[in-house]
Structure 1
């Protein structure tokens, strides 16, 4: 007999947004599955899930004492991602597949309604680079990374330690964020620079609606 539920679990793990569109029959087993997964993670790591969250079975979440991961409601973590605290997430935060986040000493914070696409890397720490000592023996530093609310981070973006991305910003695919990003900014490039303002899209949206 074909195990459709097993295949459906794989689909949800890679595309967790589908979890929030499940019909009642599928949602009944999916909620039990998620409750068991999240209970296990919380029993072995210092992780706190909000209500109605989703974690893929192969999302690797590590949060030792002092490196807690906390999140609000309706957050999801997709397959093949590495999450190392400390991290604090608001409500409705999406972490898509194959991301790698390390909170260093001072952590990563992500605001409400922020969406992070696949293959993004955020490391809230750095190595010294003094020429008289090999890299791996040098002291690390950590300033932390802060991402605001309603931010869209495109696929394959890198964000370095010490950066603040303000509310409502959009980060284009393959960008490298090395400096603070202002509110509403549209950023692209390596290193990223501002190429637009999200508020300018309002008029184009209105024109599109009128044309329809």
Structure 2
């Protein structure tokens, strides 16, 4: 049995480990953990994480940044409740927020102010405050060769297919098929690529 499995099976030890690693109010790694992030952050050759990026990155779940990928200034990256995996030659634009579980492919471009969160707060029990009910997660997958416009929101559980474009300001609540253009709130497919005619066709 691995150490991680042992901790998962013993709630008291799990709570102690969590409190040791995470600040109870700030809900981010404690100051004495952050200097050791280089031991568990996996980065590919030529990757860049700018100095102003908020790295709420814990050893609980994997964080991987692929070769020649960039996380630009003022982003927040959080893997406390799920892994964050970013492929090769991908750019996470200014002021993005990425909360796992999120899988981002190769050659992906996220413009400014994009939010992709695989986390939702539970709220169903009206006898408790929402903050007392914990969270649930559902992975986001952004496939290879995707462009997401500025200030878009990608909801938990969504898969965006290969070579898709998400228009600026869109709120994507449902999965998007390969080779599509989506816009709006909620986002809808307005174009798709037809391999027979080899043209982008408008959806009627």
TM-score, with length taken from structure 1: 0.70
CA distance in 2: counterparts of 1:56 and 1:190, whole angstroms: 31
Quote the offset at 1:72 in angstroms: 1.6
- Note the residue ranges of structure 1 that are not aligned, 5 or more in a row: 1-40, 205-212
**Worse-matched range after superposition: 124-133 or 135-144:** 124-133
Quote the offset at 1:43 in angstroms: 3.6
Partner of 1:70: 64
Partner of 2:113: 119
Task: Give CA-to-partner distance per residue, 1:86-121, whole Å, 9 cap, x none.
Answer: 211111110010011111xxx110111011001001
Q: Which runs of 4+ in 1 moved over 4 A?
A: none
Partner of 2:94: 97
**1:168-179 alignment, distance < 5 Å:** 168-179=163-174
1:51 aligns with 2:51: no
1:136 aligns with 2:166: no
Residue 195 of structure 1 aligns to a residue whose secondary structure is strand
Q: Is the 8 A contact 1:42 1:48 kept in 2?
A: no
Residue 131 of structure 2 aligns to a residue whose secondary structure is helix
Q: More strand by proportion, 1 or 2?
A: 2
Q: More helix by proportion, 1 or 2?
A: 1
- Note the residue ranges of structure 2 that are not aligned, 5 or more in a row: 1-33
Quote the offset at 1:129 in angstroms: 2.3
**Shift in CA distance, 166/126, structure 1 to aligned 2, threshold 3 Å:** same
CA distance in 1: counterparts of 2:173 and 2:52, whole angstroms: 30
Aligned residues: 161
**Shift in CA distance, 66/116, structure 1 to aligned 2, threshold 3 Å:** same
**Shift in CA distance, 55/199, structure 1 to aligned 2, threshold 3 Å:** farther
Residue 103 of structure 2 aligns to a residue whose secondary structure is strand
1:162 aligns with 2:151: no
2:184 to 189, 192, 195: 189
**Shift in CA distance, 153/133, structure 1 to aligned 2, threshold 3 Å:** same
